[in-house]
Amino acid sequence: MLSIQNISKSFGDVHALKNVSLNLEPGLFGLLGPNGAGKSTLMRTLATLQKPDSGSIHLNGVDIVANPMTMRSTLGYLPQDFGVYPKMSAKALLDHIAVLKGITDKTARETQIRSLLEHVNLLTHSSANVATYSGGMRQRFGVAQALLGDPKVLIVDEPTAGLDPTERQRFLDLLSEQAESKIIILSTHIIEDVRDLCTDMAVMGAGQIVARGAPEALVARIDGQVWRKRVTKEESAKVKTQDNFLSSRHLSGGVIVSVLDTRSPGAGWDQADVMLEDAYHAHLHGLVADKTLELANV
């Protein structure tokens, strides 16, 4: 188990994390939130790249703040911005990283590297310098290096950014395969990735966890309370000022607006099937409180 208790982190006057608590077991855990919510700061702290100002983090009972090698020895990490050495091929760089991770047997390294390159669809490009890869190819390489050594904790920060639909699905399938035996933390702003993969999730906003639970549980909290209406751009501006406004999207010259209400807001509003996106906005905007949050984090 990975136990995170009341960790906080500030950078000057910016409070990036505020008393964040989570208990995580093997499986896929989704972390949703807008840019600036504190997701990457949390990921970097869990990866022992920085220490929290306060609070504790334990992996199977071991304090990883005091003993960071406990986490590093079993961690696979794909940061949002993944850098590479220039003038090294994918195969050579993976071999170098494998040695750093303690895989000393050359045959074992070669077997594992070939398998990972096949999984991320880079085997035919394994001799090319990683620095020459496209953004999507580099992201796939980052996935491969994160999986080297069969880590028991896998942290991936915005992993599907830059991937085309086919490669995105390939990566999500790969994550799903790994989830039975690993604690996988998927930090993203892509709601569909969490909806399709994760059995547990949290919504993060302004450095805090504002909701926690299974995706279907978060959706159930606002079941029957989401209403949609097609309006003009001018009308949408007025709806956006309402306290119960959820979200809007442009469609064929008009705007579909969504609000949260226990009863019909009036003429022209249709009760909608609730989506995870609705639950995300409702919790993020403080329109619904997660009454089970404290219990979930104990």
- What is residue 172's predicted lDDT score, i.e. its pLDDT? 85
Domain residue ranges in the chain: 2-214, 219-296
Q: What average pLDDT values come out for the chain (298 residues) when binned by 10 residues?
A: 97 96 96 93 96 98 96 91 82 93 93 94 94 86 92 91 80 86 91 91 96 95 97 95 96 92 96 96 91 53
CA-to-CA distance for 284 and 224, rounded, in angstroms? 19
Which 8-state DSSP code applies to residue 149?
T
Instruction: Answer whether 42's CB lies under 8 Å from 186's CB.
Output: no
- What is residue 293's predicted lDDT score, i.e. its pLDDT? 65
Long-range contacts of 233-241 (CB under 8 A, 24+ apart): none
| 183 to 59, 126, 146: CA distances (angstroms) | 11, 28, 13
- What is residue 295's predicted lDDT score, i.e. its pLDDT? 45
- What is residue 102's predicted lDDT score, i.e. its pLDDT? 87
Spatial strand order in the sheet of 270-271: 245-251, 254-260, 226-231, 270-271
Tell me how crowded residue 163 is: count the other CB atoms within 10 A of its CB: 19
Helices 106-119 and 90-100 pack at an angle, to 10 degrees, of: 130
- Enumerate residues 6+ apart whose C-beta is below 8 A from 209: 20, 21, 22, 202, 203, 293, 297
- What is residue 30's predicted lDDT score, i.e. its pLDDT? 97
- Enumerate residues 6+ apart whose C-beta is below 8 A from 123: 114, 117
Residue located via tokens 């310098």: 129
| 129 to 22, 29, 69, 208, 268: CA distances (angstroms) | 39, 33, 30, 40, 58
Note the pTM of the prediction, 2 decimals. 0.89
Name which of 50, 47, 16 is nearest 33 in CA terms: 16
Report the first-to-last Cα separation within the chain, whole angstroms.
13
- What is residue 66's predicted lDDT score, i.e. its pLDDT? 97
CA-to-CA distance for 64 and 53, rounded, in angstroms? 14
CA-to-CA distance for 88 and 100, rounded, in angstroms? 16
Query: Looking at the domain 2-214, which fold is it?
Result: Rossmann fold (3.40.50)
- What is residue 167's predicted lDDT score, i.e. its pLDDT? 80
Which 8-state DSSP code applies to residue 291?
T
